[in-house]
Amino acid sequence: MHPISFRSTLLLGAGIAALVSNPAAAQETATAPPEPQSVDAESDSTGDIIVTARRRQESAQDIPLAVSVLGAQQLDETGAFNVNRLQQLAPTLQFYSSNPRNTAVNIRGLGVPFGLTSDGFEQGVGIYVDDVYYSRVASATFDFLDVAQIEVLRGPQGTLYGKNTTAGAINIQTNQPTFDFEGRAELSIGNYNFQQARLAVSGPLSDTVAARVAFSGTSRNGTIRNVVTGENIQSLDNIGLRTQILWEPTDRLKIKLVGDYNKQDAVCCGSVFVGTGATQRPLNRQFAALAAAQNYAPPSTNPFDRLTDLDSNLNAGNVIAGAALKITWDVGPGTLTSVSAWRYWDWKPENDRDFTGLSIVARSQNPSQQDQYTQELRYTYSGDRIDFVLGAFGFNQRIDTQGLESQGVNASRWNITPSNPLSADPSVLDGLTARNTQVLKSTSAALFGQLSWKVTDAFTIQPGARLNYDKKSGFYQRRVFTKAGTELLGTETDAVSRARLAIYQPQLSAPSDTDWNLTYDLTASYELAPDVLAYGTYAKSFKTIGINQNGLPTDAAGVPIAAAGTIRPEKVDHFELGLKSQFWDRRVTLNLAAYRTEIRDYQATVNNGQFGVLRGYLANAGKVRSQGIEADFAIRPSARFTAYANAAYTDARYVRFTDAPCPPELSGGTTASAGQTPSAPGTPGGISPANCDISGQRLPGVSKWAVSFGAEGNVPATFLGQSGEVYLGYDGTYRSNFSSNPSPSAYTFVDGYALSNFRLGFRTDGGLNLFGWVRNAFDENYFEQLFVGPGNTGLIAGLPGDPRTWGVTAALTF
């Protein structure tokens, strides 16, 4: 048995048992699954899609808010079992991940800085699971567990949600405990040894107590072959457990206790050689010359051979767990809700930061542990003319990180100027180690509220406000040791020590800051006709202060720049116009949104190529803006056919960023002094600007065009003695090119790509669903990300997207 699939195989057995144990009896008590539609979310008796985006149950078409709603059936049948897969259905969503910690989830190109993650800043896109805020974006890499529906809210949501979110929110609703026995089992197998099993069971424990238990396990071999270790990397090995106990002592009071545990244990994460680009380093210090000096060549120059030769250990051990207590109490005319939660995160990574088979950076790991506590109190009232939400939110977080990075036997020849005799001595840098200790304490508190006043039957105004307090304090210490264990203090003057200190400098910093913010929004909506709603929104929002937790940049003398320790809050102005409409007896839905978001003091990730700050650091860009148009279309002429098309045009740019880090083609040379003219891009041994003006250029990670589209048709059929329907479905997605470097570079634009997914299956009203599927059906070669290698050598590495995958799924709802 393949070692990575052991846990999932246990769950596969449970899934098989559930599928084969007396299916006829199960079907007698089963409830029919939702009829297939372009968005198969929870709906009421009129067929409206019901959402809780505004903290109360409403039709998605009645709320003046841009929101995409994805139901459990659509998520299951399209294979969208995590946020990465979700972006193929929601074109305004961007997801990039080089490993679970270094994950970015953005909406409309905004949310978090693109690049390696720092703990010192906030997420701009909030992830909520049953009202609990998940501050670690690593949670987005886990499998969805027993999900009922997902709402992707676009634009600032600070007056409705506990933790402030400037770009949007992903609101995940799970299936709840029931007082009638029910359950669902699902089993999938596919190529690359893909195995996935899910099982959920719910029912009463007494007249007032119900419970629900859900399991999920996913495993898959990696898609990249490491020729050094013989392993297939970029594998999947996820397991999840979620337990809920609901107590309803009266009709007006509900108390729910939730616990969850999720673990990843994949052979991950790596990259492949993509190519090189000329920098302004001397020619003998660029990749080709450095590699030739050590007789090195990558295993393939074609990245889609999916071969790598990473020589360091790879690990992405990741545990996210927690518990929550939710109390819902109908008090008079409204509802009081309390959500108390604890979240835990344990991250145990090992990486190869030089992206090659040479032992340059021999070890790179930053294990972290987080404890997070949140408390939200919320009162919701719905009346004939007035609806409102009032809330208070408290957040406390501590993150401890123990970083280690060491140089290998090939480091001296790679990092020291060839004319220096020390470059020929491997012992100069071999074993040189930086040990980093980091602590982050973050506390925030907020009061927020939103009022909806129905001035007339057609016209509604909706003001909201938020008062927010934040305090952040950090500690960072880097200590540097030789292979023999001698500590370097940074004051040594001999040649060998200077060569070592050019790689790692000791550093100590303890940045801290506090901030108050008052923000607000106003939405006006008007019902132009039955099922046609127009709305306009202005929001004044913010993202709170940040601090640099991964080491500070240094000046020309090698002294840390203390002023870079803290980062000013972002100031957000958001404008949006929208139209929501349904016609042809609600068989057709067409929603449009146009927006413009301007952010001053944008918090950007930058990297100046120094080995001591390989992870990058945060800095404020002057101003950015994102503007665009979005359209969501769905048609259901009959129960036998549905189709949808969602499109987003996003124009996201730096408006003003005059002191940005330069792209690789303008880096690595002698820094220009006053009056000197920098050399042309890619001039070996040239003169490089100290920094670059990238005003007007595109933000990273954002495609101008993103489209998702699909259709499904079905016909009545009988199979295995069961009456039901045979269905054929198609889902496609297209994204145009995007920049994969914070400062746009000619070497790191990812080409646009299109993906096609098909499914063919049979389902019954009794809850049985059998289907085969193929994803990336035409085996499109594409990159999820490109990476610039350290040290301005011109190395470009990349992460290829998944190749063609196929398999079968059997599911039973009972």
Angle at 692 between CA 689 and CA 693, to 5 degrees: 140
Residues 808 and 773: their CA atoms lie apart, in Å, by 6
CB atoms within 10 A of CB 381: 17
Residues 322 and 630: their CA atoms lie apart, in Å, by 36
Residues 121 and 104: their CA atoms lie apart, in Å, by 12
- Mean pLDDT calculated for residue range 210-215: 98
Closest CA to 88 of 98, 103, 78, 76: 78
Residues 246 and 252: their CA atoms lie apart, in Å, by 13
Based on C-alpha coordinates, what's the Rg of the chain?
A: 27
Q: Where are the domains of the chain?
A: 3-813
Percent of the chain at pLDDT > 90 equals 76
Are 352 and 28 in contact by the 8 Å Cβ rule? The answer is no
Tokens of 54: 């505004």
Q: Which residue do the tokens 């939702």 mark?
A: 34
| pLDDT digit string, tens, across residues 335-351 | 999 999 999 999 999 99
Residues 739 and 113: their CA atoms lie apart, in Å, by 13
Q: What are phi and psi of 812, to 5 degrees?
A: -135, 125
Residues in the chain, overall count = 814
Q: pLDDT band at residue 4, thresholds of 50, 70 and 90?
A: very low
- Mean pLDDT calculated for residue range 526-531: 96
3-813: CATH topology: Maltoporin; Chain A (2.40.170)
pLDDT at residue 27 above 50?
Answer: no
pLDDT at position 21, please? Answer: 36
pLDDT at position 120, please? Answer: 82
SS3 342: strand
Are 436 and 549 in contact by the 8 Å Cβ rule? The answer is no
Tokens of 774: 């193929």
Are 215 and 187 in contact by the 8 Å Cβ rule? The answer is no
pLDDT at residue 5 above 50?
Answer: no
| pLDDT digit string, tens, across residues 468-511 | 999 999 999 999 999 999 999 999 999 999 999 999 989 998 98
Look up residue 37 and give its amino acid.
Answer: Q
pTM of the model: 0.90
Are 298 and 356 in contact by the 8 Å Cβ rule? The answer is yes
Least confident of 278-282, 530-534, 611-615, 786-790: 611-615
Least confident of 83-92, 109-118, 336-345, 700-709: 109-118
| pLDDT: which is higher, 44 or 549 | 549
Residues 6+ apart with CB under 8 A from 22: none
| pLDDT: which is higher, 54 or 26 | 54
| pLDDT digit string, tens, across residues 400-419 | 999 999 999 999 999 999 99
pLDDT at position 114, please? Answer: 72
| pLDDT: which is higher, 526 or 59 | 526
Residues 233 and 308: their CA atoms lie apart, in Å, by 9
- Greatest pairwise CA separation for the chain in angstroms: 85
| pLDDT digit string, tens, across residues 419-475 | 999 999 999 999 999 999 999 999 999 999 999 999 999 999 999 999 999 999 999
- Mean pLDDT calculated for residue range 83-88: 86
| pLDDT digit string, tens, across residues 604-620 | 877 554 443 334 677 88
Residues 36 and 49: their CA atoms lie apart, in Å, by 13
| pLDDT digit string, tens, across residues 698-756 | 999 999 999 999 999 999 999 988 999 999 999 999 999 999 998 999 999 999 999 99
Are 619 and 607 in contact by the 8 Å Cβ rule? The answer is no
pLDDT at residue 318 above 50?
Answer: yes
pLDDT at position 130, please? Answer: 95
Residues 6+ apart with CB under 8 A from 441: 397, 398, 471, 472, 473, 474
pLDDT at position 40, please? Answer: 45
Q: For the chain, give the mean pLDDT.
A: 90
pLDDT at position 58, please? Answer: 83
